[in-house]
Structure 1
Amino acid sequence: MALRILSLNVWGGKLHAPLIPYLVEANADVLCLQEVVRSPETTSDWLLYRDRDVELPQRANLFDEIRAALPDHDGYFCPTSRGELHDGNRMVHAEFGLATFVRKSLPVISQALTFVHGEFSPDGWGEHPRARNAHCLRIFDYEGGSSITIAQMHGLRAENGKGDTPERQAQADALVQLIGRVWPGNERLVVCGDFNLLPDSDTFTILGNLGLADLVTGRGHTDTRTSYYGKPGRFADYMLATPDVEVVGFDVVAQPEVSDHRALLLDLR
């Protein structure tokens, strides 16, 4: 059986109109999503995030909207923090983090979640660089009679760029430890997400010790951003696989544009 994995930083749902239909049409078995928002305190569609000179519309209950659009999937929401967003003239609490959706026909037989940088912040978004987490799960394919381990991470964002730092070294080590809690070591492994790193980062050497190789750079892709991202440095998102993953197809999706990040789409056996 072919398996489809999608990884995407959804940008808080800013491009909500094309985003939801794309997630449905992509028909992925596993969706690894970063920058997902949930705010049970409001029924408003939109909230506003403000931080110094940054203002960014956030879809108030993006997790619930994606879950409703994907009724054949189980959803796992993994927040890093709870802070305040603007709902008109009032402030409401919202959670921010990762979401993983898995087709219900593929049972999750093991999973683990941890912070790869910082810790959960219940009373605000936290100081920069803000906390980041990673989610790792193992699913079983009844038709194929085998299991696969999949991990996603949203890497820390540093104000001095995407170069290697001690914090990013620690982040990579924490990710490897998380994977080791779930992955038995003798089956297929896929790791993906918005790493906020350059392709020459030591993180890829560390992950390479698990047998992982990056499909983005390895297949000649040079851009994981869309036209909504105007800064230099077009790498942020990666998808890595072990040699036993039979890649049927892999794409860094240029169209439609549903975020300031491109979706990564892997078909495998």
Structure 2
Amino acid sequence: MRIVSLNAWGGRLHEPLMRYLVDVNADVLCLQEVVRTQDADAGWLVYRDHGVELPQRANLFEELKAALPAYDAFFHPVARGDLFDGDRRLFSEFGLATFVRRTHPVIAQAARFVHGDFSSDGYGPHPRSRNAHCIRLFDYRRGSPITIAHMHGLRDLEGKGDTPARRHQANALVDLIGQVRQEGDRLVVCGDFNLLPGSETFEILGRLGLIDLVTLRGHDDTRTSHYRKQPRFADYMLVTPDIEVIDFDPVAEPEVSDHRALLLDIR
């Protein structure tokens, strides 16, 4: 089974992103920063915030659905805010997307906010709301289920250190997993956590038996050349000891975001 986690960066590197997500042939895609805009005519819209303008792919979720017809698709927005087509203002939703190849049926799932709540009238003040999605699949080849969860961790303008909000976020993620996972299930947890190694989040997740493959295997960079700041940790992939890892790679090439895709092959 192949699992890929990626912060899609609003589709800013649209052409290589779409090509990669189709060609990577994953069984499960866990995507953060995905956009869906109901009334958009243009392919591109602009996010504006205090003088900063960022291009966003208007309907990245719908484009991915069309490009991945063999997958079940799930979208979980955290907020509805404004994107712009010139001077025209459009309501746009922003959040998580999960794509699961239909050969692996989803037999249980849950989503919840790990920080804040849904904002229907703007993206909200920082640190903005964040959510997580947890699915339980049946792996026909092994004849057993597996639970997979991903999260987009809160972004704190003060940095990536431990805070009470991040402690609450980690405990909320553990609670979500507990709603879906059954005793004996293998477990994979991934996403853009917006954290540094050594955060107490990993201690909290460790109570589920989870270990992080990024730091365990000596990787020190989950960013691409499009991200020019330090430190270069943001994304993580954690597994329980009963996961037989064939390969794990924070993918350096191709660059499809300012984050690297995390690619996990398991038996």
Q: TM-score band (shorter)?
A: over 0.9
Q: CA deviation at 1:202?
A: 0.2
Cα distance in 1, alignment partners of residues 255 and 144 from structure 2: 34
Cα distance in 2, alignment partners of residues 16 and 88 from structure 1: 20
Tell me which residue corresponds to 2:16.
Answer: 18
Tell whether 2:142 aligns with 1:123.
no
Cα distance in 2, alignment partners of residues 234 and 125 from structure 1: 25
Letter in structure 1 aligned against 2:262: L
Cα distance in 1, alignment partners of residues 30 and 252 from structure 2: 18
Q: CA deviation at 1:53?
A: 3.4
**TM-score when normalising by structure 1:** 0.98
Q: CA deviation at 1:88?
A: 1.3
Q: CA deviation at 1:89?
A: 1.5
Cα distance in 2, alignment partners of residues 43 and 250 from structure 1: 39
Instruction: State the secondary structure of the residue aligned to 2:205.
Output: helix
Q: CA deviation at 1:42?
A: 1.0
Please give the per-residue CA displacement for 1:176-234, whole angstroms capped at 9, x wherever unaligned.
00000001131200000000000010000000010000001111100000000011110
Instruction: State the secondary structure of the residue aligned to 1:92.
Output: strand
Tell me which residue corresponds to 2:70.
Answer: 72
Tell me which residue corresponds to 2:252.
Answer: 254
For 1:8-47, what aligned pairs fall within 5 Å after superposition? 8-47=6-45
Tell whether 2:51 aligns with 1:53.
yes
Instruction: State the secondary structure of the residue aligned to 1:176.
Output: helix
Instruction: State the secondary structure of the residue aligned to 1:123.
Output: coil
| Identical-pair percentage | 68
Q: CA deviation at 1:127?
A: 1.1
Cα distance in 1, alignment partners of residues 72 and 40 from structure 2: 23
For 1:98-247, what aligned pairs fall within 5 Å after superposition? 98-247=96-245
Cα distance in 2, alignment partners of residues 218 and 83 from structure 1: 38
Tell me which residue corresponds to 2:94.
Answer: 96
Cα distance in 2, alignment partners of residues 54 and 119 from structure 1: 25
Letter in structure 2 aligned against 1:6: V
Letter in structure 2 aligned against 1:183: R
Instruction: State the secondary structure of the residue aligned to 2:202.
Output: helix
Q: CA deviation at 1:14?
A: 0.2
Cα distance in 1, alignment partners of residues 141 and 234 from structure 2: 34
Q: CA deviation at 1:142?
A: 1.7
Letter in structure 1 aligned against 2:162: D
Cα distance in 1, alignment partners of residues 198 and 51 from structure 2: 30
Instruction: State the secondary structure of the residue aligned to 1:48.
Output: strand
Instruction: State the secondary structure of the residue aligned to 1:130.
Output: coil
Cα distance in 1, alignment partners of residues 51 and 74 from structure 2: 32
Please give the per-residue CA displacement for 1:98-136, whole angstroms capped at 9, x wherever unaligned.
000000111100000000000000111111110000000
Structure 1 residue ranges, 4+ long, deviating more than 3 angstroms after superposition: none
**TM-score when normalising by structure 2:** 0.99
Q: CA deviation at 1:94?
A: 0.3
Q: CA deviation at 1:143?
A: 2.4
Instruction: State the secondary structure of the residue aligned to 1:86.
Output: strand
Tell whether 2:19 aligns with 1:7.
no
Structure 2, gaps ≥5 residues long: none
Cα distance in 2, alignment partners of residues 7 and 67 from structure 1: 17
Structure 1, gaps ≥5 residues long: none
